[in-house]
Amino acid sequence: MTRSQELFEKANTLIPGGVNSPVRACKSVHCDPLFIAKAFGSKLVTEDGQELIDYVMSWGPMLLGHNHPEVAAAIAATAANGTSFGAPCRLEVELAQAVVDAVPGIEMVRMVSSGTEATMSALRLARGYTGRSGVIKFHGGYHGHADAFLASAGSGVATQSIPGTPGVPQDVVKHTLLAHYNDLDAVKELFAAHGHDIAAVIVEPVAGNMGLVLPKPGFLEGLRELTRAYGALLIFDEVITGFRVAFGGAQSAFGIDPDLTCLGKIIGGGLPVGAYGGKRKIMSHIAPSGNVYQAGTLSGNPLAMAAGLATLKALATRDYAALTARTEAFSRELENILRSKGLPVTRNHIASIFTLFFTETPVTDFPSAQTADSGLFVSFYQQMRQQGIYLAPSGFECAFTSFAHSDEDLERTLDAARRVTF
């Protein structure tokens, strides 16, 4: 028995399912999880000493790579002065300034401790600001595990084939209206029927939790027009895309001005963090400036702020265009290798994110993502992991490259794919 197996066996007696986030259990790929002992650059090292090239990157945050020296130094220096004060600190002001400077749609920002907190709080603010209850979300869109968002959710909810709302009263989700991503006509119909009570549309500007799905031309622009016409807010969930699709996020790349933006992952430099921000006139409704309540004991804690600030400072000097080009070339060659084996493959790519779907169907929404052959994905995942390539254990997740991935890493990954058989 390996050390990972021993730990998983023990974990199952102490932690539900042996993991603290469901997809980590690797049930959908018929494997036990690997327990990680350390990470550096583009690599993970398991408790058994196996080194793997990582394309999960902590589910997106590690754009600079694992254990980046500048980030690690900032955390260590800050920790020497204390880890949590329960009071304001200089670093939260500095990180807030960095976020406001970088993200076009954010004039004020509130720090929280997770992406779920960010989206939950943004929706509460939208409802408080507009005096309305309804929210439009998209099938397969995952905005954290707050009750209102677990209707037809993607990510681990889809991977585990779990109904979206056990434990959530119908009175809560009755205010959640659903449409398919990229279907602007469906959104128009929802507004025509319920526009008087729709507080917000929440959307990943580039969907990342049904696999990677890009917006069709005019889709985001149409959402912006509709929300303005009906007096609703447009919330961009940029927990994945913020500082990854571009330094200023997807809203910068696509030129869309949302009312509220949710961030996480990268802005914590690998530590637990989230943030929501937007127009000053809206954000001023958050307590203590206004009457929409939100609080958090560890919100703005100095360790997360230091890690996030060091990360953003480093990213401001990085060549995003070059990483995009390398990821495009790498993912295209990976697609070509699999196609040469007679497999159906559809590739979606933007910046340093890509997904290979085992289907010939263009993937533009959750139903088309679900046409992918899960059996082919399981076989691919298992064979790549055996060769030291660490992929997300779900066909509904993205692959991430980073500034730490070397040409050698990419070539080793392609060589592993060439050895895969079906």
- Residue 119 belongs to domain with CATH number: 3.40.640.10
Do 287 and 308 belong to one domain?
yes
Of the residues 299, 315, 331, which one is the last residue of a structural domain?
Answer: 315
- pLDDT tens digits, one per residue of 178-196: 999 999 999 999 999 999 9
Number of structural domains the chain divides into: 2
Do 151 and 38 belong to one domain?
no
CATH of residue 28: 3.90.1150.10
Catalytic residue among 43, 129, 237, 390: 237
Residue 158 clears pLDDT 50, i.e. is over it: no
By residue range, what is the domain housing residue 113?
69-315
Of the residues 288, 315, 342, which one is the last residue of a structural domain?
Answer: 315
What does pLDDT average to over the chain? 95
Do 273 and 388 belong to one domain?
no
At 56, list the tokens: 């999960």
Of the residues 294, 315, 336, which one is the last residue of a structural domain?
Answer: 315
Written as one letter, the residue type at 390 is Y
Is residue 365 among the annotated active site residues? no
Is residue 181 among the annotated active site residues? no
Say how far residue 101 (Cα) sits from the centre of its chain: 22
Residue 198 clears pLDDT 50, i.e. is over it: yes
Is residue 265 among the annotated active site residues? yes
Do 152 and 196 belong to one domain?
yes
Q: 165 CB contacts (<8 Å, ≥6 apart)? A: 147, 150, 151, 173
Catalytic residue among 55, 129, 142, 181: 142
Catalytic residue among 265, 276, 279, 381: 265
Do 413 and 323 belong to one domain?
yes
- pLDDT tens digits, one per residue of 329-352: 999 999 999 999 999 999 999 999
Q: What is the mean pLDDT of residues 368-386?
A: 97
Report the alpha-carbon distance of residue 73 to residue 261 in Å, rounded: 29
Report the alpha-carbon distance of residue 352 to residue 339 in Å, rounded: 22
Do 138 and 282 belong to one domain?
yes
- pLDDT tens digits, one per residue of 258-312: 999 999 999 999 999 999 999 999 999 999 999 999 999 999 999 999 999 999 9
Do 242 and 157 belong to one domain?
yes
How confident is the model at residue 312, as a pLDDT? Answer: 98
